[in-house]
């Protein structure tokens, strides 16, 4: 990393792109990372997963992106802080002082369609006609919104676990994701059958109010079960095993449990607007909770993943101040994010990593969406989970797939 240069760019854009003259603005920040000798390479804009997370910091070990070296061989990489995150006028607890109505209205401008408008403004700021994108998870959803409105600006698109359920409701997306996490949970218990009993004991402790984190959170049963999100990463099963192997009365367990829970106070947007990323023209009304299958309701040892729950606004200290906000967000009638006809007519070219066992973005809907883009070649694999981009070998493979080189 010592041969890298980083240029910071901050532009001011309208909060509401549909009404740019209303006087409200925000800052949008991006870091452009260049390897020595790569000053004339084209741009690759990284669209982060989430929603609600900023772009990764290349100098922040050990979380510096493992894929970055491969990307910098071909591109200058633009690390965009999506609006509301990082240095892009971040949304946090201080914004609660605005009052519920004003804050909820601001949140309506933080979705993929607005992020695309920001990206276009940044592209123009950098003075380039086209650039490429790498969309991880929600970043891939954003790329699909990009193709719906501004496909001419995109040279090559790369998706990693980011082909959203275009044409499907949030209810359908979450119902299928429950099937995926059920399969992952049962596979884990077949390998480690003693851990079903361990989870059952933890459920009893949570039900009695006896699982308390250092933050003061009394972990609810539904919150405990979200540790199933660990099964969505390549090595997450190891973290789950290590957690369930610990005595729940110890500090080690309590702190490791806090680290394993998928939603937290550092990035409240991840919880507050999470379901909106699936809302393609409808209100969500706590979709994941509404479509929870009967067997999940009956058997609390079946783990969950990105299935947000309303009760966390009552039980999680970091979310309690957001209670009125999340209730209002759940009732928003969201506009469309995607235009299937425009995506199909976009002429998009590139490659998409589709993870066969993905518990977050189900393969069935991913392949439906892939069929809209015949120029985007799918790389379907069971060798990685949703976190596959972090492994370091997925992006080089996508470069080869997009270039038409057969990789075995």
List, for residues 229-270, the tens digit of each pLDDT value: 999 999 999 999 999 999 999 999 999 999 999 999 999 999
Q: What is the model's pLDDT at position 392?
A: 85
Q: What is the pLDDT of residues 277-310, one digit of tens each?
A: 999 999 999 999 999 999 999 999 999 999 999 9
Q: What is the C-alpha to C-alpha distance for residues 180 and 196, in angstroms, rounded to an integer?
A: 18
Q: What is the model's pLDDT at position 407?
A: 52
Task: Extract the tokens encoding 279.
Answer: 């809302």
Q: What is the model's pLDDT at position 61?
A: 47
Q: What is the pLDDT of residues 210-227, one digit of tens each?
A: 999 999 999 999 999 999
> Is the CB of residue 334 less than 8 Å from the CB of residue 279?
yes
Q: Is the pLDDT of residue 397 over 70?
A: yes
- Mean of all residue pLDDT scores within the chain: 96
- In the chain, the percentage of residues whose pLDDT exceeds 70 is 97
* Cβ-proximal residues to 115 (8 Å cutoff; 6+ apart), any chain: 47, 80, 82, 83, 142, 145
* Cβ-proximal residues to 130 (8 Å cutoff; 6+ apart), any chain: 42, 152, 153, 154, 155
Domains and CATH numbers, the chain: 4-167+338-402 (3.40.50.1820), 170-329 (no CATH)
Question: Sheet holding 131-136: strands in order across?
Answer: 4-14, 25-35, 76-80, 43-47, 131-136, 154-160, 350-355, 376-381
* Average pLDDT of span 127-150: 98
Q: Is the pLDDT of residue 62 over 50?
A: no
Q: Is the pLDDT of residue 351 over 50?
A: yes
User: Residue 167's closest CA among 370, 353, 356, 308?
Assistant: 370
pLDDT band at 408 (very low <50, low <70, confident <90, very high): very low
Q: What is the model's pLDDT at position 405?
A: 80
């Amino acid at each position: 990393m010592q041969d890298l240069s980083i240029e910071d760019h901050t532009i001011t854009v309208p909060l509401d792109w549909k009404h740019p003259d209303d006087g409200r603005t925000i800052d949008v920040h991006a870091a452009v990372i260049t390897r020595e000798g790569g000053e004339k390479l084209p741009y690759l804009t990284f669209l982060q997963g989430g929603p609600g997370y900023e772009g990764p910091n290349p100098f922040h070990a050990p979380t510096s992106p493992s894929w970055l070296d491969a990307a910098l061989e071909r591109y200058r990489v633009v690390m965009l802080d999506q609006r509301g995150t990082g240095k892009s006028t971040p949304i946090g607890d201080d914004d609660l002082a605005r009052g519920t109505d004003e804050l909820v209205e601001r949140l309506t401008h933080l979705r993929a369609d607005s992020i695309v408008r920001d990206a276009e403004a940044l592209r123009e700021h950098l003075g380039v006609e086209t650039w490429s994108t790498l969309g991880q998870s929600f970043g891939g959803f954003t790329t699909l919104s990009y193709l719906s409105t501004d496909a001419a600006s995109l040279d090559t698109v790369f998706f990693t676990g980011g082909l959203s359920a275009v044409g499907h409701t949030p209810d359908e997306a979450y119902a299928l994701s429950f099937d995926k996490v059920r399969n992952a949970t049962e596979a884990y218990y077949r390998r480690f059958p003693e851990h079903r009993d361990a989870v059952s004991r933890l459920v009893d402790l949570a039900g009695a109010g006896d699982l308390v984190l250092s933050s003061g959170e009394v972990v609810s049963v539904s919150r405990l079960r979200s540790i199933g999100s660990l099964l969505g990463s390549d090595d997450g099963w190891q973290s789950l095993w290590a957690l369930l192997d610990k005595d729940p009365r110890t500090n080690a367990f309590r702190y490791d449990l806090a680290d394993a829970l998928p939603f937290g106070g550092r990035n409240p947007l991840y919880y507050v607007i999470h379901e909106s990323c699936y809302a393609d023209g409808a209100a969500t009304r706590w979709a994941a909770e509404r479509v929870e299958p009967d067997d999940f309701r009956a058997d609390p040892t079946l783990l969950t993943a990105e299935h947000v729950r309303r009760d966390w606004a009552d039980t999680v200290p970091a979310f309690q101040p957001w209670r009125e906000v999340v209730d209002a967000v759940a009732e928003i009638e969201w506009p469309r994010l995607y235009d299937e006809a425009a995506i199909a007519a976009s002429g998009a070219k590139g490659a998409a990593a589709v993870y066969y066992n993905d518990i977050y973005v189900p393969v069935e809907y991913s392949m439906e969406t892939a069929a809209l883009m015949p120029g985007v070649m799918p790389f379907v694999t069971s060798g990685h989970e949703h976190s596959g981009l972090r492994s370091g070998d997925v992006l080089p493979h996508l470069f080869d797939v997009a270039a038409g080189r057969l990789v075995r």
